[in-house]
Amino acid sequence: GILILDFGSQYNQLIGRRIREMEVYSEIIPFNTPLSEILEKKPAGIILSGGPSSVNSETANLVSKELLESGIPILGICYGMQLITHLFGGKVSRGTKGEYGKAELEITKNCPLFAGVSNNSVVWMSHFDEVESVPENFDINAKSGVIAAISNLEKNIYGIQFHPEVTHTEEGGKMLSNFVFNICKAEKNWFLTNYIEKTIAEIKEKVGSQKVILGLSGGVDSSVAAVLIHRAIGKQLTCIFVDTGLLRKDEDKKVMKNYGEHFDLNIKLIDASERFMKKLENVSEPEAKRKAIGNEFVAVFDEESHKIEGAKFLAQGTIYPDVIESQSVKGPSAVIKSHHNVGGLPEEMGFELLEPLRELFKDEVRKVGEELGIPHHLVYRHPFPGPGLGIRILGAVDAEKVKILQEADDIFIEELYKNDLYEKVSQAFVVLLPVKSVGVMGDERTYEYTAVVRSANTIDFMTATWSRLPYDFLDLISSRIINEVRGINRVAYDISSKPPATIEWE
Ligand code: XMP
């Protein structure tokens, strides 16, 4: 397969996905992985990713020149190209203003990377440093104001300043495919049906006749993991579904029906809503709420899991982006919200871990889900945060507010589906503010809560824009919520992008 050395670019996962879409295995590993480990993997090609550092800095993220001399075809993207230049003795300098956005690619000397690529096609730039002079024995293949592509055909090394993995680069797919198939001569070896068969065999082998437990949340990852494991070991799997009282309307019933009845999964439904409400009494600070909910979840899960006699394995819906994030050289990104501690379980619970989706990107998890017969609308559900409605009711949480929010949220989601908009947005929900305002209904004065409708579009949830939902649709949502949900008399639409706002309100 193709190895991607991670220098910290936000686009790295996209490179990995693009290559897997070509049915070629790709793996993303930290740039400082020892050379021997890299060579052991026998990659057909190596991609040096982009990244925020500068090759001229004293603390630059470097690789050994030996790697570049190993004969394995190399493609450096953005920082990767600057790194190649630097290591072979060319010069990288700080540009005057940086270059962000679209540029036209003027191909000055063709090379295998650009086979079939038209001249002047649009590419996406995002860089500050630039290559000033190329190393000896390297050609300049393209320009775009700056030096945009270089190569040394004899060594099979290529560098491009732009990002072929993003859709704004019109012929980026062709360039990546040229690299993967023509330059690296990689073989197609990544098929999800094989993955399912192989994984089922592995689970059977690993688990034997032992028992497995899994925390089912109703979300995509845990559900697909559950169905996949069930396919392998049937009733040896017990799922624990904790109703925190902070879930969407009728979530418990839906999960029991969709997975308990339809897939015949063994599900233990634990109604712990009262316990959670107690822990949340008078807690209004967002991080304190996250902590309270997270701790209680672990406590409930711990109790319940140990009631299942002889359970040896704990299964989790960990997916590849989680793995990449945890091994990333950037370290865990600055804590703005303590996402990853919530809804997760501590490492030491006394079980052996079973993580059958560890190698898969989200879109692959969805494909596996559909392949296993899970209905489309279930595998394409939006993500839902671990602390649930607890962080969508601003300030203190109580059962009455939960009920109000569940009703409003349910109307919004139902209408998104009905109007064929659900899959056009990445995440959509309603937030309940502790703000009351005056309204009039019939002849009566009302004094009730304000609901905020939030819908975001994003690829990676790191940056997001607010969804341009049609006015008529917003009007429909607003009238339905105000007319049908007692306790809300005003609806606002959130038009903030991330950054500087976040997707959730807490
Ligand atoms: P923000 O609000 O940071 O959210 O823009 C980005 C994505 O993360 C989800 N999110 C969470 N998920 N526990 C979770 O499991 C949390 O505490 C949490 N906070 C935010 C959010 O729903 C969005 O998809």
Q: What is the C-alpha radius of gyration for the chain, rounded to an integer number of angstroms?
A: 26
Length of the chain: 506
Q: What is the pLDDT of residue 95?
A: 78
pLDDT-derived band at 7 (thresholds 50, 70, 90) equals very high
Q: Which residues contact 117 (CB under 8 A, 6 or more apart)?
A: 105, 107, 171, 174, 175, 178
AA identity, residue 21: E
For range 367-388, the mean pLDDT: 97
pLDDT for res 335: 46
Is 452 assigned to a binding site? Answer: no
Counting residues of the chain whose pLDDT is more than 90, the rounded percentage is 89
| Per-residue confidence (pLDDT) for residue 322, from 0 to 100 | 87
The domains located in the chain, with CATH, are: 2-183 (3.40.50.880), 192-379 (3.40.50.620), 392-493 (3.30.300.10)
Q: How confident is the model at residue 327 (pLDDT cuts 50, 70, 90)?
A: confident
Question: Which runs of E-coded beta strand occur in 68-206?
Answer: 74-77, 91-104, 106-107, 122-133, 139-144, 146-152, 157-160
Q: For 279-319, how does the pLDDT look when each residue is reduced to its tens digit (9 = 90+)?
A: 999 999 999 999 999 999 999 999 999 999 999 999 999 99
| Ligand 1, CB within 6 Å, residue ranges | 290, 337, 339, 342-343, 383, 385-387, 427, 461, 498, 502-504
Token code pair at residue 79 = 């920082």
Structure pTM?
0.90
Query: Is 322 annotated as ligand-binding?
Result: no
Q: Which helix (H) or strand (E) holds 175?
A: helix 172-177
Confidence of residue 348 (pLDDT cuts 50, 70, 90): confident
pLDDT of residue 2: 98
Render pLDDT for 244-258 as a digit per residue (tens, 0 to 9): 999 999 999 999 999
Lowest mean pLDDT across 5-9, 43-47, 373-377: 5-9
Confidence at residue 329, expressed as pLDDT on a 0 to 100 scale:
65
Residue whose CA is at the smallest distance from ligand 1 atom 14: 385
How far does the centroid of ligand 1 lie from the alpha carbon of residue 451, in Å? 19
Interval 132-143 mean pLDDT: 97
* Whether pLDDT at 376 is above 90: yes
> What are the helix (H) ranges across 352-470?
362-371, 376-379, 399-418
| pLDDT computed for residue 460 by the predictor | 82
The pLDDT of residue 125 is 94
Testing ligand 1's pocket by substitution, the residue of 461, 498, 506 carrying the most ligand atoms inside 8 A of its CB is 461
> CB neighbours of 303 closer than 8 A, spacing ≥ 6?
none
Residues 6+ apart with CB under 8 A from 322: none
342 pLDDT more than 50? no
Q: How many CB atoms lie within 10 A of CB 79?
A: 28
On the question of pLDDT at 121 being above 70, the answer is yes
Q: Other C-beta atoms within 10 Å of 193: how many?
A: 10
For 372, the token pair is 């296993």
pLDDT (tens digit per residue) in 444-461:
999 999 999 999 999 888
The token pair that represents 178 in the structure block: 């040229």
Instruction: Give residue 332's pLDDT.
Output: 42
* 344 CA closest ligand 1 atom index: 15
Is 220 labelled as part of a ligand binding site? yes
